[in-house]
Amino acid sequence: MDVAIVGAGIVGLTTARAIASRRPDLRIALLEKEATVARHQTGSNSGVIHSGIYYKPGSLKAQLTVRGKAELEQFCADHGVPYERCGKVIVATRPEELPQLDMLAKRAADNGVPAERIGVERLRELEPHAAGLGALHVTSTGIVDYPVLCDWLADELEAADHEIRLHTAVTGIAEEDGQVVVATEGDYVTAKVLINCAGLHSDRMANLTPSSRTDIRIMPFRGEYYSLVPARRNLVNNLIYPVPDSRFPFLGVHFTRMVKGGVEAGPNAVPALAREGYRWGDIDRRDLAEILTARSSHILARNYWRTGLGEIHRSLSKRAFVTALQALVPDVRSEDLIRTGAGVRAQAIGPDGALLDDFAFAETARQIHVVNAPSPAATASFAIGRVIADKALERLG
Ligand SMILES: Cc1cc2nc3c(=O)[nH]c(=O)nc-3n(C[C@H](O)[C@H](O)[C@H](O)COP(=O)(O)OP(=O)(O)OC[C@H]3O[C@@H](n4cnc5c(N)ncnc54)[C@H](O)[C@@H]3O)c2cc1C
């Protein structure tokens, strides 16, 4: 093999696509432990094509989201993948949030994202059931079904004779004689370059060889969803978001119309007790021991305990979850919502307990590890794939 990629989520798939489109002669294998592509973060996200307004100007997130979004939409248009540019409103529900809306409007302008500050009347026209003192209307935000998109990416790669090996968990990595040997359960693959797009397990993959060891750790944050019952979907036209807490990388519970139909409410952000901990009952002893003993987790807990407790309360109490949603749409009632699924975010934290804000990579002579690709990495994936392809092709000469 020329390139082995661990993980067939959207970042692994778009990376393979970016390499294959520039060097069709190279042989690429994607190694995926699950039975299908897009099983974890990609398969349980909110389905939003983010505009790129939230992120620090000049950051990778700001640049790659705007670029990746354009390419993702083009791919959808070319392949008939359903997507919509439906727009969203970010709503200030308290007077002290109005200056934050203005700051977000400025940030949108800095990032080259069209966004309009609107008053209550226009908000009522766009979202008649939303309550607010003012809002930001972001017209370029869209919705898509990421797993459907990933199926297209996988089909395209297989049609070009690249391999997607499902049920193939990577268990070891070693560099030998100018090659990378990638051990899987009962087999191995050799490649000139290894790319780690393992999402929730990316730090562990990086730590398999001494040269790529990282002090960044993945902290799993679960996001739980409710769904509006069909009779009450008229409460929401498109996407209704709160003004986010700028100290926290998550956007706050919101309403999202899904491209396949239905309206989801959520996700919250609670610490998960396993990297693939989709429910409170999912506990992995090794994952939990790491979370409880790491110094970085202690610092994180100390810094965010108040927010964390609020999120846990909203997770355990439907009433608290509904109260948060009622700030945005006062007419929503508990009986309008049914609990649906959850996703787990792979959020990297540094040794100092700080939540890593930007996308991040760790690299050696033959390995490229994606160590932080949280939201909006699905939106940005086509551009992230290009960045990684540049790094890989540089190594391949
Ligand atoms: C609740 C939630 C909501 C979100 N909403 C949005 C949104 O609306 N818009 C947006 O742009 N982003 C959103 N995101 C973020 C986005 O989904 C992720 O940033 C993106 O999917 C990351 O893709 P990935 O390929 O890096 O990871 P993943 O999709 O998690 O893929 C990693 C893959 O690696 C595989 N793997 C792991 N370990 C191994 C191993 N040892 N061997 C083989 N395979 C392995 C896994 O099985 C998995 O398939 C959301 C995320 C969550 C969790």
User: Could you read off the pLDDT tens digit of each residue along the chain, which spans 397 residues?
Assistant: 999 999 999 999 999 999 999 999 999 999 999 999 999 999 999 999 999 999 999 999 999 999 999 999 999 999 999 999 999 999 999 999 999 999 999 999 999 999 999 999 999 999 999 999 999 999 999 999 999 999 999 999 999 999 999 999 999 999 988 899 999 998 999 999 999 999 999 999 999 998 889 999 999 999 999 999 999 999 999 999 999 987 777 888 899 999 999 999 999 999 999 999 999 999 999 999 988 888 888 888 888 888 888 888 888 899 999 999 999 999 999 999 999 999 999 999 998 888 899 999 999 999 999 999 999 999 999 999 999 999 999 999 8
**Cα first-last separation, the chain:** 15
CATH number for the 217-351 domain, one of 2.40.128, 3.30.9, 1.10.1740, 3.30.450? 3.30.9
* Alpha carbon of 135 to ligand 1 centroid (Å): 30
pTM: 0.96
- If you measure from the C-alpha of residue 127 to the centroid of ligand 1, how many angstroms do you get, rounded to a whole number? 31
Residue 377 Cα: closest atom of ligand 1: 19
268 ligand 1 Cβ < 6 A = no
Query: Ligand 1 test: best mutation among 30, 42, 197, 225, most atoms within 8 Å of CB?
Result: 42
Atom 38 of ligand 1, nearest CA residue:
198
Ligand 1 binding pocket includes 12 (Cβ within 6 Å): yes
Indicate where the chain has its CATH 3.50.50.60 domain(s): 3-65+146-216+356-396
Q: How far is CA 349 from CA 40, 42, 146, 357, in A?
A: 19, 20, 26, 9
Q: Which CATH superfamily is domain 3-65+146-216+356-396 in?
A: FAD/NAD(P)-binding domain (3.50.50.60)
> Contact at 8 Å (CB) between 21 and 391?
no
> Which residues 6+ apart lie within 8 Å of 239 measured at CB?
48, 86, 87, 88, 89, 141, 143, 254, 255, 256, 257
| Chain region(s) in the chain for CATH 3.30.9 | 217-351
How far does the centroid of ligand 1 lie from the alpha carbon of residue 371, in Å?
A: 12
How far from 177 is each of 29, 93, 181, 190, CA to CA, in Å?
Answer: 20, 61, 10, 11
